[in-house]
Amino acid sequence: MHVHILGICGTFMGGVAALARAAGFRVSGSDRNVYPPMSTQLEALGIAVTEGFEAAQLTPAPDVVLVGNVMTRGQPVIEALLESGLPFASGPEWLAREVLKGRWVLAVAGTHGKTTSASLLAWILEHAGRNPGFLIGGVPANFGVSARLGAAPCFVIEADEYDTAFFDKRAKFVHYSPRTLILNNLEYDHADIYPDVGAIQRQFHHLVRIVPGGGRIVWNAADALLRDTLQMGCWTPLEGFAREPRTDALWSARAVHGVQDFSRFELLEGGQPRGTVQWSLIGAHNVENALAAIAAARHVGVEVRQALDALQAFQGIARRLQLYGEVNGIRVYDDFAHHPTAITTTIDGLRRRVGAERIIAVLEPRSHTMRMGVHRLTLAPALAAADQVWLYTAADLGWDTGGVLAALGERAHGSSDIDTLARDLARAARPGDHLLIMSNGGFGGLHGKLLAELERAAAAGPGRRR
């Protein structure tokens, strides 16, 4: 059977493509403005990708067309699809029918931390010999891919609340029917889809309604909006976690004396020590992600000791504070942060690791919510812990970033050109600096361009930097 995927290079649809290929389907697809890691992953799988959304790609006709949520009415391929009468489905609908049916689904939902928690959970299950299937919105280094079929029964899925398709405006996660559900946190996001946080809570409530009574909901007991959401109705046993001990959290953690960046912490179950983790991740937010993964893994029978051992062997995730390169003692990191809360926690984690060394934060306000200006009043406080801030302002950004730059004072800089930004950053950086580049997209290849500029500056020698 030939499956053709529209919007194939999104992290979700690219994962669906990999699963379809592994399940024996012939797979092709199309998209615009493709970039790694998904483009390289599809290439490695031998999946042909057509550039653009023209109608001709439906000839010869595939057996079924999967429609990503990037697709809209009016696009030539969508109009041709509807005229043709070809079978079509959303990615989540097809996934539920062809892959998830009959499996023990462990879903990870929440505004922040989904990719990391799902990656940790999949790795814990793998380390325990469960050979799980998974679909994750990133590439865990322990696996090297974002999706695989694995062996029954366990399947881990990153479950986001974005809408399903132009013809299905429910959140994607309601298709997955999880037996184990992680609820990491809840904040307002996706302003292009939801008018307020209450609308998002309603979608989370719909998700809670389909978890069976014999399942488990692992939730962040310190999150007030999650608490309010669960009070709308819950029919499944709850198991709480929190960064610090509290009465309604079975799982918590305690910092190890002298380790400020949380690269080492002690796990507590019911307030009692269960072991210490020393791992490659940093930041208090990642401790919460670990707690959620440990709890979810135990629901399918993985012992705590096995989970702790797995965490210590976890190698990280692409684009989550990933060291992209280093030149002349200047480190360049790639991070997916695009919401003020994620920006704050990412900078805080790096600050705890590097101490007084300079952090230069570089941000592309690229998400729909960011581009609509929803976060313009909270963006400056989120960036405040950096020593310098560079804000990229695309020509079509829908609001004036001047207020953010003014609030940050002399340490803040704006730029509207990627090449110029790369050169300016290379001039500003000095040995020992940490350049933290944050975007939920490719940022116009800034990472590579910056490293090239740093290489040129290093080759020119002291006093000759341009």
For residue 461, the model assigns a pLDDT of 75
Q: Would you state the pLDDT for residue 36?
A: 66
Return d(Cα 253, Cα 265) in angstroms, integer: 7
Q: What are phi and psi of 452, to 5 degrees?
A: -65, -40
Can you read off the two tokens belonging to residue 24? Answer: 């024996």
125 and 219 share a domain?
yes
Residue 464 is predicted with a pLDDT of 47
* Residue 54, domain CATH: 3.40.50.720
- The candidate with the shortest Cα–Cα distance to 220, out of 122, 341, 138, 389, is 341
| pLDDT (0 to 100) of residue 441 | 86
pLDDT for position 463: 55
Is the domain of 331 the same as that of 393?
yes
Asked whether residue 95 is domain-assigned, the answer is: no
**Ranges of residues in the chain whose predicted pLDDT is under 50:** 464-466
Whole-number pLDDT of residue 349 = 93
- 284 and 218 in one domain? yes
Question: Is 241 inside any structural domain?
Answer: yes
Domain that holds residue 12: 2-90
285 occurs within a structural domain: yes
Rounded Cα distance between 181 and 223, Å, is 16
Residue 344 in tokens:
């704050």
Tell me the pLDDT tens digit for each residue of 433-460.
999 999 988 899 999 999 999 999 888 8
- Give the count of domains, the chain: 3
Q: What span, in angstroms and rounded, lies between the C-alpha atoms of 351 and 382? A: 13
What is the full DSSP assignment across 417-455? -HHHHHHHHHHH--TT-EEEEE-SS-GGGHHHHHHHHHH
Residue 466 belongs to a domain? no
The reported pLDDT for the residue numbered 164 is 97
Residues 414 and 279 placed together within one structural domain of the fold: no
Closest CA to 450 of 362, 384, 366: 362
Same domain? For 332 and 378 the reply is yes
Among the candidates 67, 90, 113, a domain finishes at: 90
Same structural domain for residues 140 and 172? yes
* Residue 227 in tokens: 């608490």
Same domain, 304 and 328: no
Per-residue pLDDT at 18: 94
DSSP 3-state assignment of 8?
coil
Based on the fold, state whether residues 173 and 281 are members of the same structural domain: yes
Token duo for residue 4: 């053709």
Q: How many CA atoms lie within 13 A of 227 on its CB side?
A: 9
Q: Is 217 contained in some domain?
A: yes
| Rounded Cα–Cα distance for residues 398 and 400 (Å) | 7
Give the C-alpha separation, 433 to 426, whole Å. 11
Report DSSP letters for 212-277, one per residue: -TTSEEEEETT-HHHHHHHTT---S-EEEE-SS--TT-SEEEEEPTT-TTSSEEEEEETTEEEEEE
Q: Which of 254, 284, 312 is the last residue of a domain?
A: 312
- Report how far apart, in Å, the C-alpha atoms of 200 and of each of 206, 235, 372, 414 are: 10, 20, 17, 33
Together in a domain, 82 and 137: no
Beta strands in 36-128 (DSSP E): 48-51, 64-67, 88-90, 104-109
Closest CA to 189 of 16, 378, 7: 378
In a 13 Å sphere around the CA of 120, the CA atoms on its Cβ side amount to 30
Q: Residue 465: its pLDDT value, please?
A: 46
Question: Per residue in 279-317, pLDDT tens?
Answer: 999 999 999 999 999 999 999 999 999 999 999 999 999
Q: Which is it for the CA torsion 392, 397, 402, 407, positive or negative?
A: negative
Shared domain for 341 and 308, answered yes or no, is no
Q: Order of strands across the sheet with 330-335?
A: 322-327, 330-335, 434-438, 359-363, 388-392, 412-415
Evaluated on CA atoms 140, 146, 150, 154, the torsion sign reads positive
Query: Are 140 and 317 within 8 A, CB to CB?
Result: yes
Same domain, 141 and 251: yes
Q: Do 285 and 339 reside in the same domain of the chain?
A: no
CATH of the domain at 364: 3.90.190.20
Q: Is 412 within a domain?
A: yes
Nearest to 450 by CA among 346, 331, 364, 320: 331
- What is the model's pLDDT at position 211? 98
pLDDT of residue 334: 96
Going from the C-alpha of 134 to that of each of 114, 188, 295, the distances in angstroms are 13, 27, 18
Residue 97 forms part of a structural domain: no
